[in-house]
Structure 1
Amino acid sequence: MLKLAFILFLFGPSFQLDLPTCQPGDYHFEYTECDSNGGRWRVQVPKKPNFCTGGAPHPAVRGKSCDFTCDKGQYLDISGDQECKHCQSGTFSLGDGIRFENWEKIPEGFTSTAESFRFRHFEMGEGEDEDTVNCSSNAFTAKGSYLSVTPGDCNAQLTYSVNLVKTGSVLFEFQYPEESEGSALFHFTIQNDQCESDLDHSHKNQWPSKTKSGAWGHIGTKLEKGLNVLKWRVVGIGSDRSKKTVAPVLIRKIEVTGVGFTSVCAPCKSGTYSSEGSEICTPCKPNTFSKPGADMCKPCNPATEYSDEGAGVCTQRPPCTKDDYYQIQLPCVNGKTQKSFEWIQPQICRKDVPESIQLPGKTDAEDCPPCNPGMFLSKTAGCQYCPDDQMSDGKTPCQKCPASTSPDFNLEMNWFNTMPNNMSSECILFSDDTCKYNSSWVPMGDHLVTHFGRSEDAYLLLMQTVSGFRTAESKDHRQIVGTISFEFSTQCTGRCEFVFLVEYDGHSDVKKEWSGTKGKTHFSFDVSKSGPMTFSWAFQRSYIGHLTNGHVAENDLARMYSIKITNSLDGGAVGCKKCPKGVVDNRCVPCPAGHYIDVHSNSTTCQACPPNTIIRPTNAWGKDNCVECGQGLKASAAGDKCVTDCTFTDKEGKLYDFTKLNKITFVKGSNLFTGSGTKYYHGFNISLCGGDKMVTCTQNVSSPEKSTSESKFSESSLVKGVVCRSTIIPSTDASKSLSTQPTSLGDYIDKIVTNTSLVEMYKKEGYPTEGSEKDIHFYSKSEDSTEACPEGRNTIISLKCDQKMEDEGEIVFPPKCVYGTCDGCNFHLLWKTVYACPKCAKEDFVKISLYREPPAIETQKCAIKLHFIVKVVVPPVVALGLILLICVIYCWQRNKNLEYKYMKLTHQNEPNYDGELPGVDSCGLSDGEEDQFDSVQFKTSRGSKILNKIRGKRSDKDDENPFETGRSEKIPLT
């Protein structure tokens, strides 16, 4: 290598000397880089390197200023007089711009990337957690006529950098289908040469609005001079990961102006042409074609060839087959109808070849099928709806309802002789505005059937519009105002798709989706909103590219057999129903609130629903329609909804008071970041007890080209309920923060329960399970079903008693499901608060005396409350006790007297006694003797006299004592 380099160093100049001298035709003109004065030089340089050397190039001359540009359809003649000139036929120019609309591959200058986004648990203090997934299938991909990206758990980004020589603009066309609602964010930003985004300027930071199915939206905004970095981002929203299918986001055209002059006009691509001075190339009409750079389109051979619009070549017409015509049911005339056949237009098949099938003729006349219920057969206008005060089953003439009954209005379609009123069919392509052929749903008498043109890669949309429903919707959306039910079938060779959608207030939702072949299938959907509504059914044939080189399955089809919409403003009466309160304006006077119509009694009457139940006015016939309120709720005074007063009593009698929490509460979800650092999060608005304090989530994202009146909040951008969620993109100025994708997570409170074991749910979501059986759970429900959540969404607010919490406490997201949900349909939040503790009852208190000095002794009168039996028994017992006491005292007194007399007798027998008694044989009486008292006198001594004086005080009468001695007589000794 060193030797080779040395040889080249020595002999390199000799190689250049061997090159031929440059001739005038070997040069072309170029501009130098712009200098500090904003100008540049035109110089002549060889067209090819190392092709020639030397020669006599023209001297450098001052060129046009750096910001000079030509108008559209012109180019700058840099090789001549440096003036703008018109483009020749077959070419075009944007003047100072560039357009991208051919997406066979990602154009030069564009970069497509996809990376997983990361999230952080700031609220839970868990630090940073990074979640990485495979994003290879979620990047922008070239699809020929558009770029496509399917939203996933990734941040898909398309970047284009352009240096503008003057102020310019960017315009792009896109599809952001409403089916992507809740699954993706579409974001467009403009950065400067420092890669800085001015998010506070709306034209540099835009969130494109949703587009109707198959429709294209566009956004145009200005660009500043200098380097501009354009970024289109599609970010998947993880909360709806359970969604089976997600509509892709498409970009069809990108146009940038302000890039400077162009020195040559671009040739038109095949299938287009242009005249002199054109800024665009015009597509060729059907049955014509053109080569690149054409100034006109050439016709195909009309007998043997055909072409679609914008074709570069003509295609040979194939022989006609049964796929080139379709059958239609002719309108009834005088009670008769026929089936006819028509070619699909534009007709591309040949009828003049032997193997071609000829168009069948009309069938024989046959009796018309009956009209649909609520209609009658008119001899001149076919089937027509009965007047408002009449009814019909579709087979008999209209007739009035009997007295005290009203017509039962429904929109019921069982026969399809023609396309019904307010029903239409539309063919939609992903890439183009309209389909090439007259593909549509076709009436076939007893059903509707899809009919596609040859190789039409599209989906057919069947739309039924209703003006509204006859019952006003309830505030909590729990009331059902009507029901739509239908029966269909699909016949497919692969994975075809059949989708049911509901559009209300400009907002469309997928309610149910089926794939593959399905036999006769019945489906019904309850409607809770009473305004105008459009029900749609979309069918797309199987795409079996791996078998047929990217073609759709030609034989796939769908059939619709019947459609029934109850209680609608449209349609006719199919029967009559009894009205116990009478009829006003062909409608039953409703029963009082909380009452149902007893249809089983001999005379239809209004009866009160059982306690704690509510009744729906649209279906008040029969006691079975009284709906019991959930646990912890009670029926309102009007009997039309279940409410709570924000208190709760459990089975143990403990009272919980949540009135301090009965206000609108906002809780911020975890911060989420895209790969480029854009932050967003989910915000939840909560009204714990509902009632008059319903919450609202809004969408304030709109395209800048919309007028001020259009950018204001509309009904379609508002959702109301007890719990709702929206995606927030914060800004340094809080008033400029963006809110998008509002979703109701709970229209009403379903029940309030406790002592319910949710241990497995707590474990799955990462909540602590200790004490969970004592938590109070508020269940709320949203009836608005989607394809991902056919049963609607449910939210549980669990309140946990925590004495350490201050004020209202803290709402915590599931540690393992930071979006508040683990499946996109069931949400769970834990609210730690002191107000979740039961209120203290009297038995919960203990009196504790606290003092610095001993308190004074308190004396209180005690009142003993005795039982009635005690009151009856105690007085006699006390009286008896007193009598016994008196008897004892009396006996004791007599015993003392006897003892005294005895002692006196024994005392008198003593030797020193002055008066001695005669001896006695016995102190007692013998049997049969009577007590005799003899008068005995004693000689009283001085001591005895004194003793007698003392004893005399006890007794007033000494005579009563038979043993009393005489005071004056002396007893003789002999």
Structure 2
Amino acid sequence: MARIYSISVTNAVDGVSSTCQACALSTQVSSVTCVPCPPGHYIDENTSQCTECPLNSYLVSHAPLGPDACKPCGPGSKSDKERNSCYSDCLFTHTEGNVSLTFDFSLIGSVGTLMIGPSFTSKGTKYFHHFNISLCGGQDHLAACTDNVTDLTFTDQQRQKGEGANAVKTFICQSTIIPATGRGFHTALSSQSINLADTFLGASVETKLGEIKMKPELFPPTSKRVLDVNFYYKSSDSTSSCDSGRSVVVTLRCNPEKSIKGDLSVPSQCPAGTCDGCTYQFLWESSGACPTCKEQDFHQIEGACKGGQQDLLYMWNEPKLCTGGVAIPEKKTLACNGMEFWIQLGAALGTFTSVLLVFLICYFWKKNKRLEYKYSRLVISANKECDMPGADSCAVMEGETEGDMEDEVVFTKPSLLHKLKAMTSKGTDGMFENVQLNNHSKALVWS
């Protein structure tokens, strides 16, 4: 057991220290000393070594030991290389059912500006509220608001770059602008620059993210065909009216009638951008806020077939609610068969069918004639072979000899009218030709 009665701490304010903080140990075997961890690394409890935070997470300031020191980034965001903060890379994807929408907000631009006013002081001085909004990018694309009231030696170009003595660089900032007109200054004055958002929480189509809740009634949607995408920000700076700091919601809305850069606006009910001083809401309408185009966003139009060629045109669906992405195909020309081809084909088929019908009629008529002749011979043969009992001859008249029974069969050629009657007759008698039997004394005729 070891008991510590006193500890001497150096490099501490007033020579004392109130708490002890764990440190990472050096990896050298010969030296057991505390070493600072690189940015985005936490101290492992078991090994006392520096461990990098996982991808798309950032290290919380004054973090505890272990992996709990790394907090994951919100939806639609990613971490920087140092794992110090999260930001949006301007790409956002939303999937609902079988429909997936992809947004690319890089076309809008990294920083947007909005001037609200004018407003007037009690003495009649005109001023404006100026907002700078950094939509995408990390620490290299932050918005800057300067305070040039105390330092007027900087040029206008330096002030625009945020090189003033009191520059605020963050995701969203606000400053008060006093125009030079009527004040005797060569340039406008920028003062009271404040930080509204220094942390990007994430992007979502929902109206709430974490503890921040927007009011959709402040920006009524004009169309439900494309969803709005909300960017949520937060500031850790607390005020007298906002103990947990300020929060900002930037709503991106697809509007084909706007330009790619678009326009920023504030709610009409809250002309200062906020109704309670803690939550700010902005609407950014732009054609660049529309989802990227896909093949489902255009349709094909087939032109008329002229001279054996047909044009295929492609047109965007109206209204066009997409930008970038798949390009519309160019006009195509294909070979086709017009109405003349189908008319010629129909005439050829009709002629072939007519010839085939005539051939079939002739064939079956000739076959019917053969069957008619065979049937007639069969009937005559059956009548000759009569087997009446006790009779030596059939139909022998007195005075006739047996030699006279050798009848001669004579076929008479039927007329055309008789043929038509024979073909249309339902009975069997009309199917036969006239058969005439002649002998020396009498003639017997079958019809």
Aligned: 1:628 with 2:75: no
1:451-499 Cα shifts (integer Å, max 9, x gaps): xxxxxxxxxxxxxxxxxxxxxxxxxxxxxxxxxxxxxxxxxxxxxxxxx
1:386-412 Cα shifts (integer Å, max 9, x gaps): xxxxxx9983356xxxxxxxx9x9958
Q: Report the CA distance between 1:783 and its aligned residue.
A: 1.7
Aligned: 1:729 with 2:178: yes
Aligned: 1:835 with 2:288: yes
8 Å CA contact 2:23, 2:34 repeated in 1: no
8 Å CA contact 1:636, 1:642 repeated in 2: yes
Q: Report the CA distance between 1:663 and its aligned residue.
A: 2.9
1:393-437 Cα shifts (integer Å, max 9, x gaps): 983356xxxxxxxx9x9958xxxxxxx359xxxxxxxxxxxxxxx
SS class of match (1:659):
helix
Q: Please give the alpha-carbon distance, in whole angstroms, between the structure 2 residues aligned to 1:723 and 1:782.
A: 9
Would the alpha carbon gap of residues 585 and 795 (structure 1) be closer, same or farther in structure 2, given more than 3 Å must change? farther
Residue identity in the other structure for 1:396 = S
Structure 1 segments of 4+ aligned residues over 6 angstroms from their partners: 712-715, 757-760, 851-855, 903-906, 916-919
- Corresponding residue for 2:215? 761
Q: Please give the alpha-carbon distance, in whole angstroms, between the structure 1 residues aligned to 2:222 and 2:66.
A: 46
Q: Please give the alpha-carbon distance, in whole angstroms, between the structure 1 residues aligned to 2:154 and 2:306.
A: 80
- Corresponding residue for 1:660? 107
Q: Please give the alpha-carbon distance, in whole angstroms, between the structure 2 residues aligned to 1:726 and 1:753.
A: 28
SS class of match (2:68):
helix
Q: Please give the alpha-carbon distance, in whole angstroms, between the structure 1 residues aligned to 2:86 and 2:73.
A: 6
Residue identity in the other structure for 2:188 = S
5+ residue gaps, structure 1: 1-391, 399-406, 413-419, 423-562, 567-573, 861-899, 920-940, 944-974
Q: Report the CA distance between 1:720 and its aligned residue.
A: 0.4
Q: Please give the alpha-carbon distance, in whole angstroms, between the structure 2 residues aligned to 1:649 and 1:854.
A: 47
Residue identity in the other structure for 1:669 = I
- Corresponding residue for 1:720? 169
8 Å CA contact 1:596, 1:626 repeated in 2: yes
8 Å CA contact 1:777, 1:798 repeated in 2: yes
Could you tell me the TM-score, scaled by structure 1's length? Answer: 0.28
Q: Please give the alpha-carbon distance, in whole angstroms, between the structure 2 residues aligned to 1:718 and 1:825.
A: 22
Aligned: 1:588 with 2:73: no
Identity across the alignment (%): 30
Would the alpha carbon gap of residues 912 and 817 (structure 1) be closer, same or farther in structure 2, given more than 3 Å must change? closer
1:131-174 Cα shifts (integer Å, max 9, x gaps): xxxxxxxxxxxxxxxxxxxxxxxxxxxxxxxxxxxxxxxxxxxx
Aligned: 1:738 with 2:189: yes
Residue identity in the other structure for 1:724 = C
Would the alpha carbon gap of residues 575 and 394 (structure 1) be closer, same or farther in structure 2, given more than 3 Å must change? farther
Give 1:671's match in structure 2, choosing from 84, 94, 118.
118
Q: Please give the alpha-carbon distance, in whole angstroms, between the structure 2 residues aligned to 1:855 and 1:917.
A: 75
8 Å CA contact 2:25, 2:33 repeated in 1: no
1:312-357 Cα shifts (integer Å, max 9, x gaps): xxxxxxxxxxxxxxxxxxxxxxxxxxxxxxxxxxxxxxxxxxxxxx
Give 2:89's match in structure 1, choosing from 645, 648, 651.
645
- Corresponding residue for 2:6? 396
Residue identity in the other structure for 1:816 = Q
Q: Report the CA distance between 1:761 and its aligned residue.
A: 2.4
Q: Please give the alpha-carbon distance, in whole angstroms, between the structure 1 residues aligned to 2:154 and 2:309.
A: 83
Would the alpha carbon gap of residues 742 and 394 (structure 1) be closer, same or farther in structure 2, given more than 3 Å must change? farther
Q: Please give the alpha-carbon distance, in whole angstroms, between the structure 1 residues aligned to 2:32 and 2:143.
A: 36
Counterparts of 1:914-933 in structure 2, within 5 Å, are none
Aligned: 1:747 with 2:198: yes
Give 1:619's match in structure 2, choosing from 56, 59, 63.
63
1:742-774 Cα shifts (integer Å, max 9, x gaps): 1111123221111327997244xx543655893
Would the alpha carbon gap of residues 831 and 575 (structure 1) be closer, same or farther in structure 2, given more than 3 Å must change? closer
8 Å CA contact 2:151, 2:165 repeated in 1: no
SS class of match (1:752):
strand
Aligned: 1:821 with 2:274: yes
Q: Report the CA distance between 1:588 and its aligned residue.
A: 2.6
Q: Report the CA distance between 1:740 and its aligned residue.
A: 0.9
Q: Report the CA distance between 1:654 and its aligned residue.
A: 0.8
Q: Report the CA distance between 1:739 and its aligned residue.
A: 0.9
- Corresponding residue for 1:845? 298
SS class of match (1:725):
strand
Q: Please give the alpha-carbon distance, in whole angstroms, between the structure 2 residues aligned to 1:750 and 1:832.
A: 21
Give 1:690's match in structure 2, choosing from 107, 113, 137.
137
Residue identity in the other structure for 1:910 = I
SS class of match (2:200):
strand
Counterparts of 1:266-665 in structure 2, within 5 Å, are 395-396=5-6, 411=12, 420=14, 564=18, 574=20, 577-579=23-25, 581=27, 586-588=33-35, 590=37, 596-599=42-45, 601=46, 603=47, 609-616=53-60, 619=63, 621-652=65-96, 653-665=100-112
Counterparts of 1:200-211 in structure 2, within 5 Å, are none
Aligned: 1:793 with 2:246: yes
8 Å CA contact 2:201, 2:232 repeated in 1: yes
Residue identity in the other structure for 2:104 = D
Q: Please give the alpha-carbon distance, in whole angstroms, between the structure 2 residues aligned to 1:611 and 1:845.
A: 38
SS class of match (1:654):
strand
Residue identity in the other structure for 2:78 = K
Residue identity in the other structure for 1:663 = S
8 Å CA contact 2:108, 2:289 repeated in 1: no
Q: Please give the alpha-carbon distance, in whole angstroms, between the structure 2 residues aligned to 1:771 and 1:759.
A: 22
Give 1:809's match in structure 2, choosing from 246, 253, 262.
262
Residue identity in the other structure for 1:744 = N
SS class of match (1:843):
helix
Q: Report the CA distance between 1:622 and its aligned residue.
A: 0.8
8 Å CA contact 2:308, 2:335 repeated in 1: no
- Corresponding residue for 1:910? 380
1:936-974 Cα shifts (integer Å, max 9, x gaps): xxxxx9x9xxxxxxxxxxxxxxxxxxxxxxxxxxxxxxx
Q: Report the CA distance between 1:655 and its aligned residue.
A: 1.1
5+ residue gaps, structure 2: 311-333, 337-369, 388-408, 412-447
Aligned length in residues:
319
1:203-231 Cα shifts (integer Å, max 9, x gaps): xxxxxxxxxxxxxxxxxxxxxxxxxxxxx
Counterparts of 1:38-57 in structure 2, within 5 Å, are none
Q: Report the CA distance between 1:658 and its aligned residue.
A: 0.8
8 Å CA contact 1:580, 1:597 repeated in 2: no
Would the alpha carbon gap of residues 911 and 795 (structure 1) be closer, same or farther in structure 2, given more than 3 Å must change? closer
Counterparts of 1:879-958 in structure 2, within 5 Å, are 907=377, 910-911=380-381
Would the alpha carbon gap of residues 606 and 680 (structure 1) be closer, same or farther in structure 2, given more than 3 Å must change? closer
SS class of match (2:296):
helix
Q: Report the CA distance between 1:798 and its aligned residue.
A: 1.2
SS class of match (1:835):
helix
SS class of match (2:76):
coil
Q: Please give the alpha-carbon distance, in whole angstroms, between the structure 1 residues aligned to 2:379 and 2:303.
A: 80
SS class of match (1:824):
coil
Q: Please give the alpha-carbon distance, in whole angstroms, between the structure 1 residues aligned to 2:185 and 2:105.
A: 31
SS class of match (1:848):
strand
8 Å CA contact 2:232, 2:248 repeated in 1: yes
Residue identity in the other structure for 1:826 = T
Q: Please give the alpha-carbon distance, in whole angstroms, between the structure 1 residues aligned to 2:92 and 2:253.
A: 14
- Corresponding residue for 1:501? none
- Corresponding residue for 1:511? none
RMSD, matched Cα: 4.8
SS class of match (1:669):
strand
Q: Report the CA distance between 1:630 and its aligned residue.
A: 0.9
